[in-house]
Amino acid sequence: MTGRAEEKRCFALAERLQKLIAAAGLCSRRTAEEWIAVGRVRVNGETATVGQNADPETDTICVDGVPLTPPERRVYLMLNKPRGYVTTLSDERGRPTAAELVADCGTRVYPVGRLDLDSEGLLLFTNDGAWMQRILHPSHEIEKTYEVTVAGAVENAAAELAAVRSIDGEPIAPARVRLLRKGKETAELSVTIHEGKNRQIRRMCAAVGLHVKRLRRVREHTLSLGALPEGGWRELTADEVRAFEQEK
């Protein structure tokens, strides 16, 4: 191989430093750029610059003096979380955790967002920190759809929920609400939101006098829960993972 061909090969293998740091799960790309700008990143002993490329196979990349370790195999999972499981890696009160249900996936993964103890349905897990940050960042407005069974004065439940613009004095974006079925004292609604404030749907329901009997997340962006059994998990396909990179 000629020297010029070798140079081209090395350039092709090199990637922007911020991308390599994010891929290692340390932070988002934007945060990595900030770290580079303030001199926290060095390549082969030299202070790195924003926009610099590096090849993790041949270059020594250090963040705060600690070598950047090669990323492990990236894992992306979808769990159908049952009610009664907390969305943490461990629980000081000894309650069962959603992480226990995916413990046999072969590597340590982390929940992307949360579902509270009494909520169920679609919950993502990954060991890809950059991908997680992208999904969770409010600017990307990832839509989430829930099927919610409510009790109380349900005659105009869908319209009342769709009209909620604040909860506990905090402004919220309007939800899309659709009536799925209605009984005399209960109704099942489809509620789509993209902000994901803490216990948002339960608080919205409380604001209009409705009691939540069941709350189940069935869709996140383009990903649907489908027929995945309760307590079961599966890996996302490459297309499903890429879809979250193209949400806008």
Residue pLDDT tens, the chain, 248 long: 444 444 433 333 467 888 888 877 788 888 899 999 999 999 999 999 998 998 877 888 999 988 887 656 889 999 999 999 999 888 889 999 999 999 999 888 889 988 999 999 999 999 888 788 888 877 778 899 999 999 998 999 999 999 999 998 899 999 999 999 999 899 999 999 988 788 999 999 999 999 999 999 999 999 999 999 999 999 999 999 989 877 54
Give the model's pLDDT for residue 57: 74
Catalytic residue among 91, 116, 128, 168: 116
Element (H, E) at 37: helix 29-37
Two structure tokens written together for 166: 């604040």
What is the separation of C-alpha 48 from the centre of its chain, rounded to a whole number of angstroms?
30
Contact 123, 85 (CB under 8 A): no
Two structure tokens written together for 239: 């297309």
| pTM for the whole structure | 0.72
Burial class (CB in 10 A: 0-12, 13-18, 19+), 117: middle
Look at phi and psi of residue 129 and say left if phi exceeds 0, alpha if psi is from -120 to 50, else beta.
alpha
H helix and E strand count, the chain: 8, 17
Alpha-carbon distances of 180 from 120, 151, 175, 183, 241, rounded to whole Å: 18, 14, 15, 11, 29
Q: Are strands 120-126 and 76-81 parallel, antiparallel or unpaired?
A: antiparallel
91 noted as active-site residue: no
**What distance, in Å, lies between the first and last C-alpha atoms of the chain?**
42
